[in-house]
Structure 1
Amino acid sequence: MFDPEQVTTVTFDSYGTLVDVDAAERALAERVENPEPVSKLWRARSLEYTFVANHVDAYQPFYEMNRDALQYALTANDADISERERDEILAVYHELDVFDDVRDGIRRLRDGGYDCYVVSNGNPEMLDSMVEHADIGDLLADTISADEIGTFKPDAELYRHAAGRVGTPIQAIAHVAAGWFDVQGAKHAGMQGVWANRKGKSWEPFGDEPDLTVETFHELAEELDV
């Protein structure tokens, strides 16, 4: 159950939460005849690689994970494109469109007294370009990358590292994410988990429920009475 009285800090995931990764499928469509299965496999493998990396000590920056996952998806679907074209598709991650509610929603939270951070699997270069392209740098206190400790979500170590970095008791942090595994990871580590359900999906039957579900950041601001 969401407890707004405890919250002093809000952290946000990046991809799918602040910015729309569907642009990557559009980039694929310009170069691949049947982009949908490639896009789905790319996203799934990218996450799977991070999950496995946490357990076999095979960390590499997320951009490289994403590149390897894209190459696998292209090969598995017999999509024969050049390395240069693959890298052009990957480059879309540096200029993804921000969701309409993000800037005004984060401003409401910040103006209401809440420190706002990004906690992401993305490596620092990816996060820098995302923040710049989304034009939210003036609203965030900082970005925190998995690269800092070489551990991906949903490992509790990353959320605990984030709490230490921001200097806030972990139970006073509300973590907002579109990914179900990210919400559950944050809750397991001791944060309050807020699911940004932007696409009207059903929650997973596995694991804990979110403490709060919102469609936009404005709904979170209303829950926090700002």
Structure 2
Amino acid sequence: MGQTLAFDIYGTLIDTQRIAATLEGWIGELAPVLARAWREKQLEYTFRRGLMGAYADFDACTEQALRYCCQMQGVTLSAGQEAELLERYRQLPAFTDAAPALDGLRADGHRLFAFSNGTAETVGGLLRHAGLEDRFEDIVSVDEIGCFKPDPRVYQHFLQRAGSKPQQTSLISGNPFDVIGAQAVGMRTVWLDRTGRGLFDPWGDKPTATIRGLKELAGILG
């Protein structure tokens, strides 16, 4: 019997660090440094806004994080470069193992959902550009309830939207905070540790399973 699978998007199916290729032509070897800092600050802003109860959508967090990180790194972008960079962030590529893994899981009878901090519009465009959109039954966005992962309400909202019970639902994510958040409401979890470093938050909460690549999912889920 198939499971309900909630796939995180940024950093799990979509490679956020590929934005460094655009940056490299403008700032050279500083590009990967800025790309990593941007991603970290983007997530920090979602955490802070969640704690403050001051929701602004993921696109706004992304834009504000970029401006902060450029200032922090002493990088000056023109208005045109900033606009181009933000547009490229909406067109990031998928990891190479994403499409074949999703196809195999659908064929095995699992229900596939995109589950993201991003807005449904932005995530839909991102998946369409990456050639993944038609693999999913639906997109579930935190924007629908105005809070971010790992707020428990986000995962409960997903379960309600998908019409699934926690024990029949698996979250697949490359983000440990996301995995821990899903486990807190009783969902099963698969942590995608692409680096193989095993660097998971030492909270005593272990993922249901850990994988190095998406092709391993079929063997774990059955």
The equivalent of 1:155 in structure 2 is 151
Give how far 1:35 is off: 2.0
- Give TM-score scaled by structure 1 length: 0.92
Cα deviation, residue 156, structure 1: 1.0
Match of 2:198 among 202, 217, 223: 202
User: What pairs with 1:60-209 in structure 2 (closer than 5 Å)?
Assistant: 60-207=56-203, 208-209=205-206
- The match for 1:11 is 6
Q: Aligned partners of 1:75, 1:164: CA distance in 2, in Å? A: 41
1:79-126: CA deviations, max 9, x gaps? 111122112112122211111221111111111111000110011221
Asked whether the 8 Å contact 1:98–1:134 carries over to 2, the reply is yes
Q: Is the 8 A contact 2:17 2:32 kept in 1?
A: no
Instruction: Could you tell me which runs of 5 or more consecutive residues in structure 2 were left unpaired when the two chains were aligned.
Output: none
Report which stretch shifted further, 62-71 or 38-47.
38-47
What SS does the corresponding residue of 1:195 show, helix, strand or coil? strand
Kindly indicate whether residue 23 of structure 2 is the aligned counterpart of residue 28 of structure 1: yes
In 2, Cα distance between equivalents of 1:210 and 1:125: 30
Deviates more, 1:30-39 or 1:58-67: 30-39
Which whole-Å CA distance do the structure 1 matches of 2:72 and 2:47 have between them? 20
Q: CA deviation at 1:65?
A: 0.4
Over the matched positions of the two proteins, sequence identity in percent amounts to 33
Whether the aligned pair in 2 keeps the contact of 1:23 and 1:92 (CA below 8 Å) is no
1:124-156 CA-to-partner distances (Å, cap 9, x unmatched) read 221111110122222210011111111111111
Residue identity in the other structure for 2:218: A
Residue 190 of structure 2 is aligned to residue 213 of structure 1: no
Q: Deviations over 1:14-55 (max 9, x none)?
A: 011111111112222122242233222211111110001111
Distance in 1 (alpha carbons) for counterparts of 2:84 and 2:73: 18
Alpha-carbon contact 1:194-1:214 (below 8 Å) kept: yes
CA contact (8 A) 2:12 2:192 kept: yes
SS, match of residue 113 in structure 2: strand
Shift of 1:216: 2.1
**Alpha-carbon distance in structure 2 between the residues aligned to 1:95 and 1:40:** 17
8 Å CA contact 1:93, 1:126 repeated in 2: no
Tell me how far apart the structure 2 counterparts of residues 104 and 141 of structure 1 sit (CA, whole Å). 16
- Tell me how far 1:166 sits from its aligned partner: 0.5
Question: What is the DSSP-based 3-state SS (H/G/I as helix, E as strand, rest coil) of the residue aligned with 1:54?
Answer: helix
TM-score, normalisation: structure 2: 0.94
Amino acid at match of 1:184: I
Letter paired with 1:215? R
What's the Cα RMSD here? 1.5
Gaps of 5+ in 1: none
Letter in 1 for 2:111: D
The residue type equivalent to 1:74 in the other structure is C
